[in-house]
């Protein structure tokens, strides 16, 4: 529901208006409440002033009446002569005449002479006498507050003090309320008791009494809760006695009624305004959504490929948007056509690409027949490096145009990738015609004023009998093309069984990392015997693979695949790790052997490898001379400058370097003099026929003399007969490796052989 524009518009109207109304109401009501409080407090302050004025006037009236009494000659004479009855009669009559509740007569020194209040003690008398210093005071007696006025009686000297007072009771409070308009309470909190005389109701009096401990706080801060619905402040009735308080209560009912009426009015206005706003929002959203719905329908038709009618009666902005959508539809259609073309054609040559070629072949289905030819330009990457990318691209364009001119014309022509092209001849093609086509394609191409000749290889697949699976057909054509490149032939046809070999290679490439992780691969060790000592002083580590389903995999097979697939580095790292572990074990057993491992051309261009091997030897407390690196001449020839630097680094850290298969390379003597090696291994092809071929003996003898002349150790590999060992010893060969002593052995068998060969007497014992 809230996903629709209309609902969101209404919701926004509702939220915004609610927030505005809430903020307005909060501001107005808060200001009103604050103003009401200020007015109430001001009214209470005025009432307090009036109340104080009322008390003051009562004191003045009492003082004036008392002045008449103190000036009466007969009263003075009665005091002077000590006529007690006359004094009491005069005081009683005068007190009754002015409505006094209490009269007292004190001696000049403060002794009580006469009192209408029974039970006054000396403390109370002293309180009365202290009033001589002020015109009016509040006397607390028996939890009753009296407003007293005390005046001297002189004849002419001071002969007495006469005082009269009024009780501050509910009657006085009612009189004060009649004048001030506010409720008045007289509170007496002397000796822990609280007495109250008030104009409040009984419940309100009870509320005041229950909060009696808070009453002194009202002297500084008025309260709205003592009692409820009243603003109450406290006044001291007498500065010398803080337990006598007058509470002034200003009712706030009229202010509350005004506040509640304002609040109710605002709620009513709020409800009316909100209702009106929702109605307007619904109407407005409806008027806006109608054109939007038209635009949605318009856009949906465009999406369906239908040309919609022009929107009528919509706002100008929406009509512009509709026109823009129409233009967008036209642009999309144009781009779609362009994208479809680009998705099916090679951007450089304009021929069909791999995707389109496979799609076309798949569409033929059972009708697919004839011959599929896959072409590849030999060493095109090398050509690309020589003439540059731009010229190489022009060359490919010229090559594609020439493909289009072939006779017979292919039924399908596509560029699968870089320099690979697919041709389909539905009716087949005669071998002579295919060779003529290759001749035409290999004719020189003019590029930037130079003639570039190409060598083209072709893989041919007869579709009949190979099914109709396009991926299988293309893969088999690629297998034939790869075979043509490997065998340096112009045309090679797919042969039954090639696919199985291809699948086997894919399986081995895929399973090699898994086999390393699952210990399917293992090392065997072939002894290397020192002919001078007639002792085994070293061994060569060789890798073996027992595949769980394919059985034993020859090392030459999976090593070559590892190099071609880029996995040779993980194989070399595994061999290096296993060799180091075995050297550690032999060291712990007290065997001093030099172990040789083979590195590939890929390993020899890694400049970090020497430091890595040095760290491994150091971490395992192995001497650097415990390891020997064997490399072939072919590996050195890949990148001679880099490889020589890496081998020199091995020599520097003390690791021996051996050249394997000496005599089979193309530049053995030229590079042997500059290679930083320790030993040279003569290839088995020169060793195996020494007993029957004098020329091989001459070659071996010359090689040994040459190698010794360069200061290297000579190792003969592939020795199988004892007579061959005697010949090599006679020729001065240093070490021998071959089946004459032992085939490659697993580590347990090697240990037993080593013990039996090096220590025959110990073994016999």
pLDDT in tens, 641-681: 888 889 999 999 999 999 887 766 554 566 677 788 899 99
Instruction: Check residues 116 and 443 and name the one with the higher pLDDT.
Output: 443
pLDDT digits (tens, 9 = 90+) for 506-531: 888 899 999 999 999 999 999 999 99
Q: In whole angstroms, give the CA distance from residue 660 to residue 374.
A: 39
Q: Is 71 helix (H, G, I), strand (E, B) or coil?
A: helix
Query: 10 Å Cβ neighbour count for 45?
Result: 14
600 Cβ neighbours under 8 A, 6+ residues apart: 559, 563, 568, 572, 635
- Give how far the C-alpha of residue 151 lies from the chain's centroid of Cα atoms, to the nearest Å: 92
Q: In whole angstroms, give the CA distance from residue 40 to residue 43.
A: 5
- Give how far the C-alpha of residue 456 lies from the chain's centroid of Cα atoms, to the nearest Å: 54
Candidate from 47-56, 362-371, 541-550 with smallest mean pLDDT: 47-56
Containing 422, the helix (H) or strand (E) segment is strand 420-425
Asked if 151 and 65 touch (Cβ cutoff 8 Å), the reply is no
Q: What is the pLDDT of residue 96?
A: 81
Query: 10 Å Cβ neighbour count for 6?
Result: 16
Q: What is the pLDDT of residue 551?
A: 92
Q: In whole angstroms, give the CA distance from residue 267 to residue 500.
A: 89
Query: Is residue 290 very low, low, confident or very high in pLDDT (cuts 50, 70, 90)?
Result: low
**Average pLDDT of the segment spanning 576-595:** 94
Q: Strands 735-737 and 713-717: what pairing?
A: parallel
Structure token digits, residue 664:
């089979």
Distances (CA, A) of 317 to 240, 289, 731: 86, 14, 102
Query: Is residue 737 very low, low, confident or very high in pLDDT (cuts 50, 70, 90)?
Result: very high
87 Cβ neighbours under 8 A, 6+ residues apart: 75, 78, 79, 105, 113, 114
The model's pTM: 0.50
Q: In whole angstroms, give the CA distance from residue 737 to residue 684.
A: 10
Q: In whole angstroms, give the CA distance from residue 490 to residue 486.
A: 11
Bond before 156 cis per omega within 30 degrees:
yes
Instruction: Check residues 132 and 75 and name the one with the higher pLDDT.
Output: 75
Query: Residues, the chain, total?
Result: 765
Q: What is the pLDDT of residue 754?
A: 94
Q: Mean pLDDT over all residues of the chain?
A: 83
Q: Taking 60 as the threshold, does the pLDDT of residue 765 lie above it?
A: no
Q: Walk across the sheet containing 223-225 and list its strands.
A: 195-198, 183-188, 241-251, 228-238, 223-225
Q: What is the pLDDT of residue 532?
A: 93
Handedness of CA 275, 280, 281, 285 (dihedral sign): positive
524 Cβ neighbours under 8 A, 6+ residues apart: 541, 542, 544, 744, 745, 746, 750
Query: Is residue 318 very low, low, confident or very high in pLDDT (cuts 50, 70, 90)?
Result: low
pLDDT digits (tens, 9 = 90+) for 143-181: 788 888 888 888 788 888 888 888 888 888 888 888 888
Task: Spell 502-527 as b/e; 16+ CB within 10 A means b.
Answer: beebeebbebbeebbeeebbebbbbb
Q: In whole angstroms, give the CA distance from residue 400 to residue 353.
A: 12
DSSP string, 647-686: HHHHHHHT-EEEEEEETSSSSHHHHHTTS--SEEEE-HHH
Place of tokens 């059972």: 366
Q: What is the pLDDT of residue 764?
A: 43
Q: Degrees (nearest 5) of the Cα angle 663, 667, 671?
A: 100
Q: What are phi and psi of 187, to 5 degrees?
A: -120, 130
pLDDT digits (tens, 9 = 90+) for 234-267: 888 776 666 778 888 887 777 777 777 878 888 8
Question: How many alpha carbons fall within 13 Å on the CB side of residue 22?
Answer: 6
Angle subtended by helix axes 84-98 and 5-71, to nearest 10? 150
């Amino acid at each position: 529901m809230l996903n629709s524009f209309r609902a969101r518009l209404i919701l926004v109207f509702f939220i915004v208006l609610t927030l505005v109304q809430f903020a307005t109401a909060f501001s107005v009501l808060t200001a009103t409440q604050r103003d009401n409080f200020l007015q109430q407090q001001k009214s209470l302050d005025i009432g307090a002033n009036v109340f104080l004025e009322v008390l003051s006037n009562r004191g003045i009236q009492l003082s004036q009446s008392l002045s008449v009494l103190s000036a009466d000659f007969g009263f003075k004479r009665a005091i002077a002569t000590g006529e007690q009855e006359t004094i009491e009669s005069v005081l009683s009559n005068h007190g009754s005449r002015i409505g006094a509740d209490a009269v007292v007569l004190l001696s000049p020194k403060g002794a009580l002479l006469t009192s209408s209040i029974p039970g006054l003690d000396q403390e109370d008398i002293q309180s009365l006498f202290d009033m001589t210093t002020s015109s009016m005071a509040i006397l607390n007696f028996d939890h009753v507050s009296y407003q007293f006025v005390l005046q001297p009686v002189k004849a002419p000297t001071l002969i007495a003090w006469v005082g009269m007072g009024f009780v501050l009771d509910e009657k006085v409070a009612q009189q004060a309320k009649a004048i001030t308009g506010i409720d008045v309470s007289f509170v007496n909190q002397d000796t822990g008791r609280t007495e109250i005389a008030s104009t409040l109701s009984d419940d309100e009096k009870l509320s005041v009494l229950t909060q009696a401990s808070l009453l002194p706080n009202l002297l500084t801060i008025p309260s709205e809760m003592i009692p409820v619905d009243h603003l109450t402040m406290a006044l001291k009735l007498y500065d010398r006695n803080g337990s006598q308080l007058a509470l002034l209560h200003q009712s706030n009912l009229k202010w509350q009624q005004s506040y509640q009426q304002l609040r109710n009015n605002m709620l009513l206005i709020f409800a009316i305004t909100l209702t009106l706003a929702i109605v307007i929002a619904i109407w407005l959203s409806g008027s806006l959504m109608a054109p939007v719905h038209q635009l949605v329908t318009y856009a949906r038709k465009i999406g369906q490929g239908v040309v919609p009618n022009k929107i009528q009666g919509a706002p100008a902005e929406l009509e512009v948007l509709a026109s823009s959508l129409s233009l967008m539809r036209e642009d999309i259609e144009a781009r779609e056509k362009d994208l479809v073309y680009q998705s099916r054609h090679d951007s450089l040559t304009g021929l069909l690409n791999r995707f389109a070629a496979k799609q076309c072949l798949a569409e033929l289905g059972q009708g697919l027949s004839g011959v599929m030819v896959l072409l590849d330009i030999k060493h095109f990457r090398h050509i690309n490096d020589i003439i540059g990318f731009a010229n190489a691209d022009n060359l490919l364009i010229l090559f594609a145009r020439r493909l289009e001119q072939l006779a017979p014309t292919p039924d399908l022509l596509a560029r699968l990738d870089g320099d690979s092209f697919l041709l389909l001849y539905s009716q087949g093609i005669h071998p002579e015609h295919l060779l003529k086509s290759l001749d035409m394609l290999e004719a020189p191409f003019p590029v930037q004023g130079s003639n570039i000749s190409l060598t083209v290889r072709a893989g041919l697949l007869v579709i009949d009998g190979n099914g109709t699976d396009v991926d299988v057909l293309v893969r088999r054509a690629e297998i034939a093309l790869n075979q043509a490149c490997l065998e340096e032939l112009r045309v090679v046809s797919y042969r039954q069984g090639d696919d199985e070999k291809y699948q086997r290679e894919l399986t081995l490439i895929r399973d090699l990392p898994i086999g390393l992780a699952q210990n399917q691969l293992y090392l065997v060790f072939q002894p290397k015997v020192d002919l001078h000592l007639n002792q085994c002083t070293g061994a060569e580590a060789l890798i073996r693979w027992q595949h769980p389903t394919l059985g034993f995999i020859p090392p030459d097979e999976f090593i070559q695949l590892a190099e071609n697939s880029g996995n040779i580095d993980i194989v070399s790292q595994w061999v290096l790790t296993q060799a180091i572990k075995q050297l550690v074990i032999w060291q712990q057993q007290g065997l001093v052997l030099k172990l040789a491992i083979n590195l590939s051309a890929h390993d020899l261009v890694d400049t970090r490898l020497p430091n890595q091997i040095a760290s491994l030897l150091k971490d395992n407390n192995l001497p650097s001379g415990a390891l020997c690196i064997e490399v072939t001449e072919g590996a050195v020839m890949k990148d001679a400058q880099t490889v020589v630097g890496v081998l020199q680094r091995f020599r520097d850290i003390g690791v021996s370097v051996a050249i394997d298969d000496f005599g089979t390379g193309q530049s053995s003597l030229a590079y042997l003099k500059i290679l930083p090696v320790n030993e040279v291994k003569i290839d088995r092809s020169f060793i195996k026929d020494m007993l029957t071929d004098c020329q091989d003996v001459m070659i071996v003898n010359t090689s040994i003399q040459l190698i010794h002349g360069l200061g290297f150790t000579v190792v003969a590999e592939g020795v199988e007969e004892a007579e061959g060992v005697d010949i090599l010893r006679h020729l001065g060969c240093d070490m021998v490796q071959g089946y004459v002593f032992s085939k490659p052995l697993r580590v347990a068998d090697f240990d037993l052989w080593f013990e039996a060969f090096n220590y025959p007497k110990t073994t016999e014992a």
